[in-house]
Chain A
Amino acid sequence: MSALPLASPRPARSPAPRRHLEAAPTRAYRRARPRVLSAVVTIAGIGAILLAQLLLSIVLAEGAYTIAGLQTEQRDLLRQEQALTEQLEVLSSTQNLTANAEHLGMVASGNPVFLDLSTGAVSGDPTPAGGSLTGSSGNQIGNALLAGSTLVDPAADDRTAGSPENSAAGGGSGAQASSTPGTIPSPTTR
């Protein structure tokens, strides 16, 4: 080693390579600028989340009230439907229909007559319609639900049929009244 010429120049230490050994910037230094940004982002994020959560719960609560309201409405409507069905069933009972039919002057049909389409033969012994289904003593088969119910008033029916909106719609009695005698009254198909 000592035989090495002293004169051989050592490579000069230039300042440039020294820079490579410069102490790395501290973490704090490196993050000095991004830190502000991330803080803002974080706080904004938290804020947004909180806001979203607030809005969400407001919407949910509102939804809960809407649901509760609609459920109540549904229940009320179902009850109403049931009450109306109940009324309808009573009105369509045989006793009510018979009483009203007879009140309106309808009579029992006569013996049916049959036309055999394949042979063209007519069978049966026709009798004219007439007489009452309930007979002289009136309906004998009770129905407590009909107590206090009133019969249809044909005069009132005529009055409503005569009003402009009803006659335009072709109400049953109005249409029949206007048909000429001898023709079969036919309903207006809508």
Chain B
Amino acid sequence: MTHSRLTARRLALTLFAVFAIVGVFVVKLVDIQVVRAGELTAAAEARRSTSLTVWGSRGEIVDANGTVLADSVDRFDITASPRNVGDSTEMTLDGERVVVPTTEAIAKIAEITGTPAADLFAALTEDPESDFSYLVQAVTLETFTAVFDLDIGWVYSELRPSRTYPSGAIAGNLVGFLGTDGALAGTELQEDSCLEATSGTSTFERSADGVRLPGSLIVVEEPTDGGTVHLTIDADLQWFAQQQLAQQGTAVGADWGTAFVVRVATGEIVVAADWPSIDPNDLNSVSADNSGARSFTAPFEPGSIMKPVAFAALLDRGLIAPETQLTVPGNYTNGLPSGENITDVFAHGDLRWTATGILMNSSNIGTVMLSERLNPEQKYDAFRAFGFGEPTEAGFLGEDGGTVYPADQTRADTVTLATQMFGQGITATSAQMASLYQTLGNGGVRMPLTLVAGCEQADGTWTDVPVPTGERVVSEYAADTTLLMMETVANAGGLRNVISVPGYRIAAKTGTGEVAENGQYGSERIVSLAGVFPADSPEYAIVVTFGKPDTMKSSAAAAPVFNAIMEQVIKTFRVTPSTEAAPNLPLTW
């Protein structure tokens, strides 16, 4: 009996032990499989899987014809692991192993990349324990391939998406450039949201040799490429305008020059040239002052090319006609503080000019006298309606709106009240001047200037397409009559031989603005020639300006460039000649 009882107890004990052990296992199992399942799976996944960054490429900037002005390219940083640097073995073609000494490897890399071997050596020895060091940065695919064909064990690489500007300084002022951490200037920065790409990742499990394990989970976040920014400019014409500015600007010793060509019907900017203009490939190509687009960002006192505002406003209100007769004295003090006077560019006695004659001869006195028919508010409103005093709709980065003094200020400052009518005491950018001539050429309807035609997303859809809605500034009669009066400048003015293109009627206006420095008008001038052609059916407005020329301080400096650009526009866009002859408006009476 005692024997069997012992057996039973032993059995019970064993069973208990077995159940206890099984129990422990179950608890552990539940812990691993249920409680910590997520955490452990993730940890396991992380050990086996790798995550790669997939780069999306930044969008292009192209001109109206699709010529690429800015593009993204692959560059490669060649890196090394100094810790692993050592002589490597290489298989010869015969299958023999030869030892390639480190110095020889460095010499080879130096030869391919054109980097001094000493620099490479320094990069490797600076911190011998480090696992990472840049050898050569941003090399092309060709160089990269050549270096990797050397098959050196301690050399690695990194992809570095970079930017290139195939057209160089053509429209460099408009395109802008990137810094190391992103867009810095111009359209690159202004349209960054369109151009920007988002990089994706691809995660998968991989074997020791880097090949994806079949059936392993891939998590892919697709990269999205940036959109393409379409500019309205024509790169070839832009080059031509820049080239002309550079040649003439150098010849007359100007500090800078700008040129605009605007399609009058739509307000599209075909050319917005700056000289000097930066080559975005080489940020040291021009000084910092010249690295932007002066044409949009630097307002100046434009001088007489502003006069058409006064004439158009007067015509619009029926206050003058082209034949309005006026006796213009050689000196004018009416309404000015004592000691102040207004003169014309050439000395004269009393002259009997028509309104047209006043515009043709660019008489400051005549313009001021006629403008007295407008009150200060009407003058201010006229300038504002033509878009002065605020940046144009082109929306260029850092665009300036210039200065128009409001009526309550000019009422007290009668000098500015008078001089603003001939473009002194008021400032405007070249873009705003181009907008003025666009309005006059478009029958008095001001179309917003456009520089960016839209953003073409990677999937082909277009966004940010401007919807130009014109705004009537003056009546069609006023705009067209102003052009007729301006035609006398091209037909009878002193620069007629330089400006004219046979067969084409041209409405033009000269301008020589005085430059105020430290509150004083000195001898420096800003000279311009602005116009619209063909005058009978306007298609393009052109404004050419030179800043501070040394040898030729009048609009004669800008005239040859105006003429050359006009001829090139005729050739490029096949502008047909005028069909009717210009009327002969009387200049004197």
Contact = CB atoms under 8 A, between A and B. Distances in A.
B378 interface: no
B281 interface: yes
Given A114-B577, A123-B577, A125-B577, A141 B214 contact: no
B536 interface: no
Given A93-B166, A133-B240, A112 B211 contact: no
Given A114-B576, A114-B577, A143 B141 contact: no
Which of the listed residues A63, A86, A94 has the most CB atoms from chain B within 10 Å of its own CB? A94
A87 to B, nearest CB: 9
B3 interface: no
A140 B242 contact: yes
B168 A68 contact: no
Interface string A61-88: 1011101100000000001101101100
Contacts of A98: 239
A134 B564 CA distance: 12
Contacts of A95: 167-168, 170, 239
B236 interface: yes
B250 A125 contact: no
Interface stretch (B67-75, B324-332, B470-478): B67-75
B502 A134 contact: no
B213 interface: yes
A93 B242 CA distance: 15
A63 B214 contact: yes
B279 interface: yes
Given A83-B141, A89-B68, A141 B242 contact: yes
B212 A64 contact: yes
Contacts of B140: 83
A85 B141 CA distance: 12
B503 A145 contact: no
Contact of A144 (B168, B215, B243): B168
B169 A68 contact: no
B169 A143 contact: yes
Contacts of A144: 168, 279, 281-282, 285
A146 interface: yes
B142 A83 contact: yes
A167 interface: no
Interface string B173-216: 00000000000000000000000000000000000001111110
A141 B168 contact: yes
A94 B236 contact: yes
Given A94-B236, A141-B239, A135 B247 contact: yes
A120 B247 CA distance: 40
Interface residues of A, number: 40
B546 interface: no
B574 interface: yes
A65 B211 contact: yes
Contacts of B343: none
Given A60-B214, A60-B215, A68-B210, A142 B169 contact: yes
A135 B277 CA distance: 19
Nearest to B280: A144
Contact of A123 (B165, B170, B503): B503
B279 A139 contact: no
B115 interface: no
B570 interface: yes
B255 to A, nearest CB: 16
A145 B242 contact: no
B246 interface: yes
A145 B164 contact: yes
A180 interface: no
A124 interface: yes
Given A68-B210, A123-B579, A137 B168 contact: no
Interface in B417-453: none
A63 B211 CA distance: 10
A42 interface: no
B222 to A, nearest CB: 15
Contacts of B45: none
A143 B281 contact: yes
B169 A141 contact: yes
Interface string A41-67: 000000000000000010011011101
Interface in B542-586: 567, 570-571, 574, 576-577, 579
A166 interface: no
Contacts of B210: 68
Interface in B277-325: 277, 279, 281-282, 285
A176 interface: no
Given A82-B73, A94-B239, A145-B168, A140 B246 contact: yes
Interface string B67-105: 110010110000000000000000000000000000000
Chain B CB count within 10 A is highest, among A98, A141, A146, for A141
B44 to A, nearest CB: 20
B254 to A, nearest CB: 13
A142 B285 contact: yes
B502 A111 contact: yes
A130 B502 CA distance: 17
A123 B575 CA distance: 11
Nearest to B211: A68
Nearest to B144: A79
B235 interface: yes
Interface of B: 67-68, 71, 73-74, 140-142, 164-170, 210-215, 235-236, 239-240, 242-243, 246-247, 250, 277, 279, 281-282, 285, 501-503, 567, 570-571, 574, 576-577, 579
23 contacts: A64-B212, A64-B213, A68-B212, A89-B166, A90-B164, A90-B166, A94-B236, A95-B239, A111-B502, A111-B503, A114-B574, A114-B576, A114-B577, A123-B503, A123-B576, A133-B243, A140-B247, A141-B242, A143-B166, A144-B168, A145-B164, A145-B168, A146-B168
The 3 closest A-B pairs by CB, nearest first: A143-B168, A140-B246, A89-B166
Given A111-B503, A144-B168, 7 more contacts: A90-B164, A94-B167, A125-B503, A125-B577, A133-B243, A141-B246, A143-B169
